């Protein structure tokens, strides 16, 4: 009778070892997926709802900034070319994260360290750019959390995203330190994959934020209150998972 897998039994010192070829080993869970990975997916799902509410709040409040008659307004402070560079840096870090995971899956510890360091550095550059932008908005343009509804929603949304990036950088640096101490090998690749899931999520969220905050031009004032939700809806429909 044909079998779906070839089993081999090796006896050494009175002990037996059975290995199946053609089947990958699964952790002992009901889903066949490691519980740590499932927990990360659950966290990211809840974070999607969290950022969706922040983005919706920003879209509505930005449009009402001019209606309240208190500036500065988005069109007066937003610097698209500068933020585009920061966005490109963060998006490029997704590539280095993929290379880090690929390296450890090949048991290339040195490659893992190089790409983890590169990802961490790119994340720090993004945070530095965001700090500079916030400083310019506050010191030069006079925009703060208390200035108007645009300032409150803008700093809350982008600031909390920056906090997520900072957490990711700390996580990456911690993993790099553990690797330098010899604590990461091919069998620990799931740890790298989990931090990679978090990092890619942060990058995807920034794509949405960057598009809505910096790229989509819509009216400021009463007309924009009606146009902004439509712009957001068009963006969400364009996303691959919608």
Residues above pLDDT 90, as percent of the chain: 47
Q: How far apart are CA 90 and CA 95, in angstroms?
A: 10
Residue 154: closest CA among 33, 34, 65: 65
pLDDT score of 123: 96
Q: What beta strand segments (E) does the chain contain?
A: 6-12, 15-21
pTM of the model: 0.76
Instruction: Report whether pLDDT(5) > 70.
Output: no
Q: DSSP assignment of 13-40, as one string? A: TTEEEEEEES-----SSTTSS-HHHHHH
Mean pLDDT over 77-96 rounds to 91
Mean pLDDT over 194-208 rounds to 95
pLDDT score of 17: 40
Q: How far apart are CA 215 and CA 156, in angstroms?
A: 19
- Kindly give, in sequence order, each residue whose CB lies less than 8 Å from that of residue 163, ignoring residues fewer than 6 positions away: none
Q: What is the DSSP letter of 141?
A: S
Mean pLDDT over 204-211 rounds to 93
Q: How far apart are CA 161 and CA 174, in angstroms?
A: 20
CATH number for domain 29-238, candidates 1.20.120.80, 3.30.565.10, 3.90.580.10, 2.40.160.20: 1.20.120.80
pLDDT score of 34: 76
Residue 161: closest CA among 238, 52, 78: 52
**Helix 222-238, helix 35-63: angle, nearest 10:** 150
**Helix 80-105, helix 189-210: angle, nearest 10:** 160
What would the pLDDT profile of 47-76 be if each residue is shown by its tens digit?
999 999 999 988 888 777 666 566 677 777
Q: Which residues pair with 6 in a beta bridge?
A: 21
Choose the weakest-confidence range: 10-19, 40-49, 50-59, 198-207: 10-19
- Kindly give, in sequence order, each residue whose CB lies less than 8 Å from that of residue 211, ignoring residues fewer than 6 positions away: 235
pLDDT score of 21: 39
By the 8 A CB rule, do 52 and 59 touch?
A: no
Instruction: Report whether pLDDT(79) > 90.
Output: no
pLDDT score of 112: 93
What would the pLDDT profile of 24-41 be if each residue is shown by its tens digit?
444 556 666 778 888 999
What would the pLDDT profile of 138-157 be if each residue is shown by its tens digit?
888 888 888 888 888 899 99
Mean pLDDT over 105-115 rounds to 93
Three-class DSSP category at 9: strand
Domain locations in the chain? 29-238
By the 8 A CB rule, do 198 and 204 touch?
A: no
């Amino acid at each position: 009778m044909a079998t779906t897998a070839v089993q081999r039994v090796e006896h050494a010192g009175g002990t037996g070892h059975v290995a199946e070829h053609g089947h990958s080993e699964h952790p002992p869970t009901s889903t066949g997926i490691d519980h740590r990975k499932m927990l990360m997916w659950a966290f990211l799902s809840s974070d999607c709802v969290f950022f969706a509410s922040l983005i919706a709040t920003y879209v509505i409040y930005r449009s009402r900034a001019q209606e309240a008659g208190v500036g500065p307004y988005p069109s007066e402070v937003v610097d698209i070319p500068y933020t585009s560079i920061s966005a490109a840096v963060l998006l490029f870090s997704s590539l280095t994260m993929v290379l880090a995971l690929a390296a450890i899956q090949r048991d290339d510890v040195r490659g893992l360290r190089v790409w983890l360091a590169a990802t961490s550095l790119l994340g720090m550059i993004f945070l530095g750019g965001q700090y500079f932008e916030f400083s310019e908005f506050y010191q030069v343009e006079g925009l703060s959390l208390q200035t108007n509804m645009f300032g409150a929603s803008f700093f809350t949304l982008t600031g909390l995203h920056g906090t997520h990036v900072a957490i990711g950088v700390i996580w990456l640096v911690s993993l790099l330190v553990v690797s330098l101490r010899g604590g990461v090998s091919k069998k620990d690749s799931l740890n790298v994959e989990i931090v990679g899931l978090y990092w890619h999520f942060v990058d995807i969220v920034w794509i949405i934020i960057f598009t809505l905050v910096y790229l989509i031009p819509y009216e400021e004032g009463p007309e924009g209150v009606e146009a902004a939700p439509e712009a957001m809806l068009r963006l969400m429909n364009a996303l691959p998972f919608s």
